[in-house]
Amino acid sequence: MTDAMLPATLLGDYPAKAVRIVEPFGAGGGPDLLARALAQQLCELWGQPVTVENITGAGATAGPAQVAQSPADGYTLLINTNAQAYSAALQNLPYDPLRDFIPVIPLTSQPYVLVAGESAGVTTVGELVAAAKAKPGKLVFGSTGVGTGTHVGVERFNRSAGIKARHLPPRPTDSIANTLANVIAGHTTYCILPIDIALPAIREGKLMALGVTTTRRSPLLPQVPTIAEAGLAGFTFPIWYGVWVPAGTPTGLVDKLVRDIGRVLAAQPMRDWIGKHGGEPMTMTQPEFARFVLSESERAAQILKAAGSQLQ
């Protein structure tokens, strides 16, 4: 459907009804918190309900799968992490992460934090690397799913550190809370998690924060070095968030979403919220974001191929 064929309710009067934001990691996770903060501001801007629906499972691909099948009318949005780009390396998905979606706008980036449970007996990046080299292939790392940022990031860390470890992917029904619980309980030795998810357990002493994945330390964990500072020179791997819509969404609607979401992101309430949660704004045009998503997809595929990861 071209813009010229659209009824007025889809362009001039959009949104004329409730808008749904789908997020695939579950209540309380970074994408959920961000989606709800954004939804509140968009609701005020549009004067229409903006709801958040947590659709989890299948390694964080169940939500995108549903969005891919939704009408391309601007009333179903997807908020996802870099997993949306990285999952393009996977096989046997019920959708194509690149062809079945239009990248609309980036939202924010922030550090992951590399963590280990108390039982792991490591308190620094150097100690983790030494433990892994002492027992090649014996340590176990967790993630929120094959091809997600938490998986690709650890594979990149392992390669940079010259270590080998086994991946314990989640069960189809697991959420990011299970990934957190597994490393606390010692079922996995280490993982990377969004900093705001890991922070409570770090403060309670249940997790050891070894390093953050950005080029600068996080104000939320100022005492924790960057992984580059801790010995892996040049290492950087932030988590980033964005908004997507189903392929076929008219250009006029995409442009309106870019303008309106950009307006919300530039306003002080969202700027304050992002800063409070340890994030930094990302500023790109829609074409720039689309190119960025493609380049991130290609980078993830190279990392996973080099690591010999199973991409089923």
Summarised one tens digit per residue, pLDDT across range 19-48 is: 999 999 888 888 999 999 999 999 999 999
The answer to whether the beta carbons of residues 65 and 301 sit under 8 Å apart is no
16, with CB counted inside 10 A (0-12, 13-18, 19+), is middle
Task: Determine the angle formed by the axes of helices 268-276 and 251-266, rounding to 10 degrees.
Answer: 70
Domain 3-110+239-307: give its CATH superfamily: Bordetella uptake gene, domain 1 (3.40.190.150)
- Give yes or no for residue 171 having a pLDDT over 90: no
**Do strands 239-246 and 190-194 pair parallel, antiparallel, or not at all (unpaired)?**
unpaired
Do the two domains 3-110+239-307 and 112-212 of this chain adopt the same fold?
A: yes
- Position 9 scores a pLDDT of 44
How far apart (Å, rounded) are the C-alpha atoms in residues 69 and 52? 17
- Position 89 scores a pLDDT of 84
Domain 112-212: give its CATH superfamily: Periplasmic binding protein-like II (3.40.190.10)
Tell me the pTM: 0.88
Q: What are phi and psi for residue 293, nearest 5 degrees?
A: -60, -45
Residue (of 101, 96, 25, 103) closest to 59 by Cα position: 25
> What are the residue ranges of helices labelled H in 69-172?
83-86, 125-134, 149-161
In this predicted model, which residue has the larger pLDDT, 268 or 57?
268
- Position 11 scores a pLDDT of 66
The CA distances from residue 292 to 62, 132, 162, 298, in Å, are 23, 33, 28, 10
DSSP E strands in 76-157: the ranges are: 76-81, 101-110, 112-117, 140-142
Query: For residue 15, is the peptide bond before it cis, meaning its omega torsion is within 30 degrees of 0?
Result: yes
Token reading at 120: 């792991």
The answer to whether the beta carbons of residues 41 and 261 sit under 8 Å apart is no
What is the DSSP-derived secondary structure letter of residue 9? G
The answer to whether the beta carbons of residues 51 and 21 sit under 8 Å apart is yes
Residue ranges per structural domain of the chain: 3-110+239-307, 112-212
Residue (of 228, 109, 239) closest to 160 by Cα position: 228
